[in-house]
Structure 1
Amino acid sequence: MTYYRSIGAALLASAAMVTAAAACETTFRSSDTHPEGYPTVTAVEYMGELLEERSDGRLCIEVFHSAQLGEEKDTIEQTQLGVIDMNRVSLGPFNNIIEETKVFSLPYIFRSTDHMHNVVDGEIGDAILAEFENHGLVGLAYYDGGSRSFYNSQKPITSKDDIEGLKFRVMQSDVFVDMVDALGGNATPMPYGEVYSSIQTGVIDGAENNWPSFESSGHYEVAGYYTLDQHLIVPEVLVMSKAAYDKLSAEDQALVRQAAKDSVPVMREQWEAREAASEEKVRAAGVEIVEDIDKTPFIEAMVPVYEKHVTSEKLKSLVEQIQAVD
């Protein structure tokens, strides 16, 4: 009986969503690789609620979570072409498309999450969002992506030397590839959705990510060692197809931008709670966590990465500006 009640409730909820979407003049299709209930997903859903309310029901957002519309690299291209209207993506995959995004993906560029917030919420963050318009996109907001650390199936990493020879999945970004190579590991770019089976079958030894992604993906089930070296604090970014954006009136464009901005504090609050819950679950599962690690050799190893990727005067200036932010 409970089962049929659940089915009935699900059908009613689905019908309500379809009816609501049908009532909107414009429904934006938004992509996310993360699962339902993940902070980035719920943040865009909240943005949709704000947008629908403030537009008197004219503008809506339908979020396609769990990579329903494809992995990040593919959805970026579709968003540029206008096939997808909105997209939540890590900045990593943009590094090979928009040069300025590289600075936010540099290892140890941010001293803490607070430092990252102060940078992206200010003039530097706005300037980099503006660069997306040269590539068929409109940058709307930054979300949190936590601090990324290494995990693997082979052994605990207690020093830089332990990375030697291990195969790690990275996002499809030259910066990420060079970061792992500089540490002595073997970088393997691949889509996020292929990581679990690749660790399980030994194609790779591990990957690097934050607490919620490590947990929600189930990677902790096949990679029992997690080292908190916190080499990256890479923001997520919410973008919109410029083709879809340009169809809107100036008033509706302002509504979209403000709703995106207003979703950020909600996302950050949910992210903080999710990080704590994911960490608790991973620890309870028996994953060996290495916390006391000397980051100095890791930081020193990044010198050639900076030399290779921070070449233009513009990027050098951005790095200096970021480092000067409190």
Structure 2
Amino acid sequence: MDKLSKSLEVLKLLSTTTSETLVANNEKSRFDPTSISKEKIHHLNNITELLCSSSLIKSNNENYFKLLTASVETLFTTCDENDYDVRLAAEENLNKLVKNLKEANLTRIQVELHRIIKRNPNVGPRALKGALWRFAELASVIHPKKIRPFFEHLSAAFYSIAARPEDIVHEKLSEYYELIFRILGRSINDKEIKELLLAYLANMSHESALIRRSSAACIIIICRYSRYPMVIARFLMTNAIDQLLEHHSENDSTRLIIGYLGLIKNLIQLLGINIEEFQSSSINIQQPLNTSKNIDSN
């Protein structure tokens, strides 16, 4: 425990000792940029080795879990370091830690990953991406009784992820959502579905083509795994057509038109599988998301 605490303290100290600081202060220190990098990698490796120690895992000690939380946070924070070698070491250690802990204490590592996601937007883009894909990989083994609580804790993060400006967050987001919402989707109520859809529909006019495409794909996934997918799909199609008709003659609406056309393309692919159910679904297009299927409009 003492060694683990010491490594965490050293990493915290080194995180404030950058090469820019050394140059600015003209310090003659053994902690030159290369030494700092090597020192960080050493302590990252040390943290993971200690956390994966069978004696510590089996101890079920309260201090161990506190240090685990601090260590996971440190590893993910380090994923956004400028130094490539340090980032790579953090990623490798996270892979090793998750692999070991999911066999020894699956729920605990799921909780730790969800803590990182929950911190959005106060988490770096690489850290967020890393937490999302690792949580997605473990989503299929979430205990049924934990499905709804996990969504409740992560809902605010899912809404705010849509607003992240970094392409790196969005480039594979739909792949992660496919795995996550396949499990969590049916636990989401109508009001929450509406809020999720609105968060990602706002990106249909985003300046980044990647974010527009990613958001359209995420919307389809949220729709597919909702309680009433065809009702949601019908609303989305109506909404998309309305937006195109409203903005088709505006000079500055090119991105919006491209975004909604991409969404319609994805909807057609989804509806091709369920066309009969889509045609029979009822919806009042004057009251978006207020349907006979109890989709809440508030």
TM beyond 0.5: no
- TM-score, length of structure 1 as denominator length: 0.22
More strand by share: 1
Larger radius of gyration: 2
More helix by share: 2
- TM-score, length of structure 2 as denominator length: 0.24
Higher relative contact order (CA closer than 8 Å, sequence separation 6+): 1
